[in-house]
Structure 1
Amino acid sequence: MTPFPAERTVLLTGAASPRGIGRAAADRMAREGWAVAVLDVDAGQAEAAAAEIGQARGVPVLGVGADVSDEAAVDAAVARVEAELPPLVGLANLAGISSPTPFMQETVAGWDRVFAVNTRGTFVVTQRVLRGMIDRKLGRVVSVSSVSAQRGGGTYSKVAYSASKAAVIGFTRALAREVGEHGITVNAVTPGPIDTDIMGGTLTEERKAAMAADTLLGRVGTREEVAALIAFLLGEEAGWITAATYDINGGLQIS
């Protein structure tokens, strides 16, 4: 096994939104001593998030803008991260968009937009980051799917979202087979209802109660709880875990 370097970087996509899981995960990784690269379609927000995290945690940080579905933009962004920060050991694919459109009202353009970010983006960024991980014989990849992929929706988003997130689970398992020989682990997490803004805006107390009704714990999850799971799977101690799907849903779905 290749040991973790003392100085190492994690790249998190979609991590600029102040109330998103990605932002919470970026802060958690910085707190644990990682250098952090925040990649987001909004370059200004990415830079602001990185600056705030760096000031709070005292680690090297970088905010870069890129559409995760744009291969050239991703290549340029990752090249900058590789040039300016320590070796890339961790990747968290968090960029995603929801889709509450019912199937019979969905359009090809709408379907393609969801898959471009949630599925193609995961492929594009992971493939680019894996180059360095394979060379170094070390890497951790964690991609965020959703309980919607397991339950067939039933939370907020409809078929396009559920299908795109189901693809992330298949992607994770197949990729883990290919890169395990290089000392790289690949895992997925499937959050249930979380108190973020992705489900049509900030959740009211009434919406939280409705979403929590079918969970075993009687509440929605927090960004920090998902961030803690992501941080564990990105860490050195998770080196014997790969091709796994980790449920974090309060018992909404029992796999």
Structure 2
Amino acid sequence: MTGLAAFDLTGRTALVTGSSQGIGRALAGGLAAAGATVVVHGRDAGKAARAADEIAEATGSRTISAVFDVTDAAAVDAGIEAVEAELGTPDIVVNNAGIQRRAPIAEFSDADWHELVETNLSSAFHLSRRVARGMIERGSGKLIQIGSVQSQLARPSIAPYAATKGAIVMLTKGLCADLAPHGVQANAIAPGYFATELTQALVADETFSAWVRGRTPAGRWGEVDDLVGALVFLASSASDFVNGQTIYVDGGMTAVV
């Protein structure tokens, strides 16, 4: 396919983890708008089902919901088995589920460290390993991880979070090394500072917001829809020769000092 047809996701299936709200929901909606059948995933069954229904109504694409613990390998295996029973192995998997914990490093708890690693990093490993089997058998697939500007840049009080997001970039490269010979592309999107339900307090903090606007060449916070173009590109045939890469969608933050 060439031209705009290369970006068409009609006939493809996509699973987006952590997509009942925030960035994940915008990503799921963007894939549905591009024609994909979308699995909306979350921890709250009712919330995931409502998000799936709203996306279907807005886009006209088929959506279903799935609920399983992305930090538990056995739960991931069972959850993907259920999705495969209905839709087959997803053509596109977006490893979006993530959390943030803040504390000075000398005071950071073991519990918060382990929760960050399990949610932000281990979940992407569990999902990618499980769906890779079907993608290898089929000879195609798109694995897309959600990193962060903290994949490259550090800030005080979030060293463990930055460690998980830095590891996401290297996991993506490793997935490329293993899976590219089987026709599978693995890439990452690294958002900058985005206004979402989870960042409302930071957006409302005028001192912090002024820092974001001043530090970002674009002069503003990101809006969740700013991520959709990069996602559709990486999920589509337009990126079939793009592999192991991280695209920073950050208004230029990582490009300047």
TM-score scaled by length of structure 1: 0.92
Instruction: Determine the C-alpha separation between the residues in 2 that align with 1:140 and 1:24.
Output: 18
> Residue 173 of structure 1 aligns with which residue?
173
Q: Partner amino acid for 1:131?
A: R
Aligned-residue sequence identity (percent) comes to 34
Is 2:15 the partner of 1:11? Answer: yes
Q: Partner amino acid for 1:183?
A: G
| Runs of 4+ residues over 6 Å off in structure 1 | none
Q: Partner amino acid for 2:15?
A: L
**1:56-79 residue CA offsets vs partner (Å, 9 max, x unmatched):** 222221111112111122122211
Shift of 1:86: 5.4
Aligned length: 250
Q: Partner amino acid for 2:113?
A: W
**1:211-251 residue CA offsets vs partner (Å, 9 max, x unmatched):** 22111111111100112211211111110100111111111
Shift of 1:43: 2.0
Q: Cα gap change, 1:163/1:84 in structure 2, threshold over 3 Å: closer, same or farther?
A: same
Q: Cα gap change, 1:134/1:201 in structure 2, threshold over 3 Å: closer, same or farther?
A: farther
Instruction: Structure 1: give runs of 5+ residues left out of the alignment.
Output: none
| Alignment equivalent of 2:135, drawn from 117, 121, 133 | 133
**1:88-142 residue CA offsets vs partner (Å, 9 max, x unmatched):** 1101111000112221110111100000100001101111111111110000111
Q: Cα gap change, 1:185/1:240 in structure 2, threshold over 3 Å: closer, same or farther?
A: same
Instruction: Structure 2: give runs of 5+ residues left out of the alignment.
Output: none
Instruction: Determine the C-alpha separation between the residues in 2 that align with 1:54 and 1:199.
Output: 26
Shift of 1:85: 2.4
Instruction: Determine the C-alpha separation between the residues in 2 that align with 1:249 and 1:234.
Output: 19
Q: Cα gap change, 1:213/1:202 in structure 2, threshold over 3 Å: closer, same or farther?
A: closer
Instruction: Determine the C-alpha separation between the residues in 2 that align with 1:178 and 1:150.
Output: 23
**Which has the larger share of helix?**
2
Retained in 2: the 8 A contact 1:147–1:153?
no
Coordinate RMSD, CA, aligned: 2.1
Shift of 1:5: 8.7
Q: Partner amino acid for 2:196?
A: T
**1:7-56 residue CA offsets vs partner (Å, 9 max, x unmatched):** 22000001101xx1110111111111100001112222111111111122
TM-score scaled by length of structure 2: 0.91
Retained in 1: the 8 A contact 2:70–2:76?
yes
> Residue 48 of structure 1 aligns with which residue?
50
User: Helix, strand or coil for the counterpart of 1:88?
Assistant: coil
Shift of 1:210: 2.6
